[in-house]
Structure 1
Amino acid sequence: MAKAIRRINKEVPNQQEEQAEAVADILKELAENREAIMKSLAILKGLNDMRVLETAHALLDQRTEVAAIAIQQINQPGMHNVIKNGMGAVGFLGTLQPDQLNTILDGLGNGLKRLSKTGEKGKKQTIWTMRRRLRSPEIRAAMTTMVDFLEGMGEVFLENREKQKG
């Protein structure tokens, strides 16, 4: 019969063996990811040439002072309005259907193109020419849209006025 095992010898590698194994693992990963490492080094070199790394290092060294200045700037009343307005704008954009927004932005872009062309030509329009142009379907569509826009905006203004009174 075999003897019972009463003592287990656990081999603990010494520090030199652990370091050698770690270096071998790192070299293996470097060899397997050579292209990615080379690209990363090129990016780092470019950032270093532009002194971005130096700036980032200085920001990290002075992070408490930088954070204090940032918090002071954010705590100004004007910045509160910017943040609230930004949130409101994002909320507003969330209420629009993408097709609606595209139509509005396309129309705005086309109108601005026409505006710049008119400004370059510098032609004066007579009252009779303006009256004739008001009959065009494009002008009528734009005027109808603007009147509907003003009517909707007026409704909200009146509702808000009633809420403030009540």
Structure 2
Amino acid sequence: MAKAIKQIRKETADPQEEQSKAITDIVAALAENRDAIMETIGIVRQLHDMGVLNTVNGLLEKRVDVGVIAVQQLNQPSMHNTIKNGMNAFNFLGQLNPDQLQTVLNGVSHGMDKLAENIDKHEKVSLWQLGNSIRNPEVRTSLTTMLGFLEGMGEAFQGDKRELH
């Protein structure tokens, strides 16, 4: 019959063997990912040349001071308003139909071009000419669009007033 095991010896690897295996694994990984490593080194070199790494290093060294300043800036009432306004702007943009917005922005762009042309002409427009311009189909379309916009905005304002009372 076999003898009972009374003592268990744990085999520990030699630290030099572990280090040698680690180096071998690292070199193998570098060889397998040569292109990615070379590209990363190129990016880091460009960041260093631009001075970005020095700036990031300085920020990391002074992270506590920078954090305190950042929190102080964020804690100001004007910053609260800025954050709320930004969120409202994103909500507003999310409600818009992209095709309608593109149409309106194209109209604004074309209108700015016409405005620049009229400014360059330096001619005064009489009240008679203004009255006659209402016969122009483009002017009528624009006025109708603006009136619809004003009506919708007024309805929203009236709805807000009703909610407040």
Which of the five TM-score ranges fits, normalised by the shorter chain? 0.7 to 0.9
Aligned counterparts of 1:129 and 1:112: Cα–Cα separation in 2? 20
One-letter amino acid of the structure 2 residue matched with residue 65 of structure 1:
D
Structure 2 portions without partners, runs of 5+: none
| Distance verdict in 2 for CA 1:123–1:37, change over 3 Å | farther
Matched, 1:119 2:119: yes
- For 1:71-118, what per-residue CA distance to the aligned partner results, in whole angstroms no more than 9, with x for missing partners? 111111111111111111111111112212212222122212222222
| TM, length-normalised to structure 2 | 0.87
| Distance verdict in 2 for CA 1:28–1:138, change over 3 Å | same
Aligned counterparts of 2:4 and 2:124: Cα–Cα separation in 1? 108
RMSD: 2.1
How far residue 50 of structure 1 moved from its aligned partner, in angstroms, is 1.5
Matched, 1:71 2:88: no
Q: What is the number of equivalent residue pairs in this alignment?
A: 164
How far residue 15 of structure 1 moved from its aligned partner, in angstroms, is 1.3
Q: Which moved more, 1:141-150 or 1:99-108?
A: 99-108
Residue in structure 2 matched with residue 158 of structure 1 by the alignment: 158
Matched, 1:57 2:57: yes
How far residue 125 of structure 1 moved from its aligned partner, in angstroms, is 2.7
How far residue 9 of structure 1 moved from its aligned partner, in angstroms, is 5.7
Aligned counterparts of 1:8 and 1:120: Cα–Cα separation in 2? 97
How far residue 30 of structure 1 moved from its aligned partner, in angstroms, is 1.3
Aligned counterparts of 1:86 and 1:126: Cα–Cα separation in 2? 43
Residue in structure 1 matched with residue 110 of structure 2 by the alignment: 110
Identity of aligned residues (%): 46
Aligned counterparts of 1:5 and 1:40: Cα–Cα separation in 2? 58
Aligned counterparts of 1:32 and 1:120: Cα–Cα separation in 2? 65
One-letter amino acid of the structure 2 residue matched with residue 105 of structure 1:
L
Aligned counterparts of 1:107 and 1:157: Cα–Cα separation in 2? 25
Residue in structure 2 matched with residue 132 of structure 1 by the alignment: 132
Specify the SS of the correspondent of 1:123. coil
